[in-house]
Amino acid sequence: MGFFDGYDIATSGMGAQRERINVVSSNIANAQTTHTEDGGPYRKQNVVFEEVLLESAKKVDKSGQEKIDPLAIKGVNVREITQANKEPILKYDPTHPDANENGYVAFPDINPVIEMVDLIEAMRSYEANVAAFKTQKNMDTQTLDIIKM
């Protein structure tokens, strides 16, 4: 493990959670958006994470199968941002400009309460990565202080 690996892991976590916060915020902001550039209502987005491994993490055992060393994780990354497949919620409002011929308006299937909980969870995860970064910094500072003595 290198000197800066702890920083790399924490900052990758902060970056991934920042992206999650942005996506969840967009979901909350567009919870009532009935018309997008694509023509339909806004679709909820989800963030998919993946671990980032060191190159030396992958080893081949005697049987030829690839094994991954679980201690060789270098961080986390956003693999993709997906759109939910849920159908929109139809509400009757014939006066709405986006109402169909039967008077129904398609709203995104987004529950703001669930999105707020997801946002709080992402913020707490971001804060945990900040705390890990600070802990790594304090350990390194104390190590350098010991070496100077």
User: Model confidence over 49-63: pLDDT tens digits?
Assistant: 988 876 655 666 677
Tell me the per-residue pLDDT of 15-52, one tens digit each, with 9 for 90 and over.
999 999 999 999 999 999 999 988 889 999 999 998 88
Residue 119: Cβ within 10 Å count = 18
In degrees and rounded to multiples of 5, residue 79 shows phi and psi of -75, -50
Task: Give Dmax (Cα) for the chain.
Answer: 81
What is the tens place of the pLDDT at every residue in 101-135? 999 999 999 999 999 999 999 999 999 999 999 99
Separation CA 111–CA 88 (nearest Å):
12
- With a CB cutoff of 8 Å and minimum separation 6, the contacts of 74 are 5, 8, 9, 12, 52, 53, 54
Can you name the residues that pair with 59 across neighbouring β-strands?
67
